[in-house]
A and B are shown apart, each in its own frame.
Chain A
Amino acid sequence: MDYGLPHIGPGALRVAGRNFKVWRKLIIAGVLVHILEPLLYLVALGYGLGVFIREISGMTYLSFLASGIMVSSAMMTASFESMFSAFSRLDHQRTYEGLMATPLIVDDIAIGEIIWSAFKAAMSGIGILLVAILLGAVEGWRSLLAIPVVFLTGLTFAAMALNTTALARRWDFFQYYMTLLLTPMMLLCGVFYPVSSLPSWMQTAVQFLPLTHAIDIIRPLLTGQSVSNLMLHLLVLLVYLLVFGFASLVLLRKRLYV
């Protein structure tokens, strides 16, 4: 095992740039996905359930949901990109094998994929922000600050998911990650209802999950409320990013330098 510190260089941006060039070719489809999906969610759930829930945590259900969907969508987008897309580049497309015959190294691949996944997460965040603005679910210019936070959230979830990719031998391996981690976070961390509705032991448990903290920053940002414990939330996201980012790097080095 190579536990050397990450080598950070311009190569990571070249790896991310490769993915960007592919994405740019299909930009219409890409943008459509980032706008239509949240639109559906917000209209269906926001209006559908909004009839029963007049007010939640001092805001309309639509506003409450918009911030939840923004964060969960960042989580899903970054995770899927770092799992399914990266795995196809690692495995049957042999893209990484081709990259490694150039001056690029595995550190560039790992860091580049994480940056790229976070970029896509940020794109989805922008899509949702636009939709939420159109539906009148957002308040104030401060909501723009949500975008860099979504980017950080993307980095964190990409770094976590990349570990799965580095270990995966087959596609079904990702099913475990989704069922055991992503789905519980999606359902328990405050996307659809406030965490305070949970039994108290569960409230404590979800404090250890990064999605909870990302939502705790972004929800008040979108609705003009003040963010409490900002530093704590950022710190949790950052610790997850650094620990899992480093682990994914070590695992990818082991996987690719054979």
Chain B
Amino acid sequence: MSERRYLAVRARGLTKYYADRCVVDRINLDIPQGCLFGVLGPNGAGKSTTMRMLQGVTPPDDGDLVVMGCHIPSQAVRARTRMGVIPQTDNLDPDFTVEENLQVYAHYFGMDAQAVQPRISELLHFVDLEGYERAHINSLSGGMKRRLTFARALINEPDLIILDEPTTGLDPQVRHQIWDKLRELRQQGRTLLLTTHYLEEAQRLCDELVIIDQGKILEHGRPQELIARLVESEVVEIHDNPRAMDVLQSIQGCRTESSGGSIYGYLHNAKSAIDLLHEQGIASLQRPANLEDVFLKLTGRGLRG
């Protein structure tokens, strides 16, 4: 019982098949309340399917799932009264204006139209859409639609907010705005669950994350802890020069990976490698290791690939 009180999401052996293909493969999740939790994985990893199972929309084929104390899917309706969802693809209602979208959504939650009006103004302020109350959805830019979707997901004061790739396809400025909002919501004590295939997003934002590929959870931890535990601290990166592989492999203690046209050398001190590559006339780049390197090590592929 006590464990339930502190976990916003608890999944055990959660599994989903489409036709004969296992797209979510016996995953376990423990998401503490108040945590900004990330699910990092490439396209097709099973992130959206997992998020839909948490909402009680996609029925799992196996496993146990408890969200905010509610068994899913049997008690999903109760869970959804305290949940806010930002879907991967916007589904704002094109038959309504900005303000009407929020009013109608509040109505779906059974909220009183009069009582919710101040909350709507507050939310439009929160996502910087004041003055657009009467704008039509189709006249909004992609970033504005995303922000409105954000406001809509907050209409019921949710304790758990599910964000499925909230910043995919947005320009960096909007992305930073959204990151700020996420931090603010976390400050308010809400639990945020975010899927992404952007390593910076996961690394900079998340308290904890899981790395997922082909329906399986490969690792779970804090971003810096994962990097420290799983990869060497420094990376030498070479683009479009296959000769570099031999040079790197001649260095003691240097682990190599290749992905796309790029070659990566992993070591605890990159200095000697840089010098050696320089002698051979090969241009290289040095940087600290990140979550992309973790993913590459775990799967042999890049996150975009």
- Listed in ascending order, the chain A residues whose CB lies under 8 Å from chain B are 10-11, 14, 17-18, 21-22, 25, 93-95, 97-105, 256-258
Contact = CB atoms under 8 A, between A and B. Distances in A.
Would you call the interface of chain B mostly helix, strand, loop, or mixed? loop
Contact of A98 (B59, B80, B93): B93
A252 B107 CA distance: 22
A105 B77 contact: yes
Interface in B146-198: 153, 156
Of the candidates A95, A99, A102, A105, the one having the most CB atoms from chain B within 10 angstroms of its own CB is A102
Interface string B29-60: 00000000000000000000000000101110
A122 to B, nearest CB: 21
Contact of B91 (A18, A98, A103): A98
Contacts of B156: 102
A75 to B, nearest CB: 25
A22 B101 CA distance: 11
Nearest to B55: A101
Nearest to A97: B91
Interface of B: 55, 57-59, 77-78, 80-81, 83, 85, 87, 89, 91-96, 100, 104-105, 107-110, 153, 156
Contacts of B104: 18, 21
A102 B80 contact: yes
Contacts of A25: 95
Contacts of B81: 103
A162 B21 CA distance: 30
Contacts of A99: 108
A70 to B, nearest CB: 28
A102 B93 CA distance: 14
Given A101-B80, A101-B85, A103-B108, 12 more contacts: A17-B107, A18-B108, A22-B96, A93-B95, A94-B91, A97-B87, A98-B91, A98-B105, A102-B156, A105-B77, A256-B57, A257-B57
7 contacts: A10-B110, A18-B108, A93-B95, A95-B93, A102-B109, A103-B80, A103-B110
A93 B94 contact: yes
A257 B107 contact: no
B100 A95 contact: no
A102 B156 CA distance: 9
A101 B108 CA distance: 10
A182 to B, nearest CB: 25
Nearest to A7: B77
B59 A257 contact: yes
A100 to B, nearest CB: 5
A22 B95 contact: yes
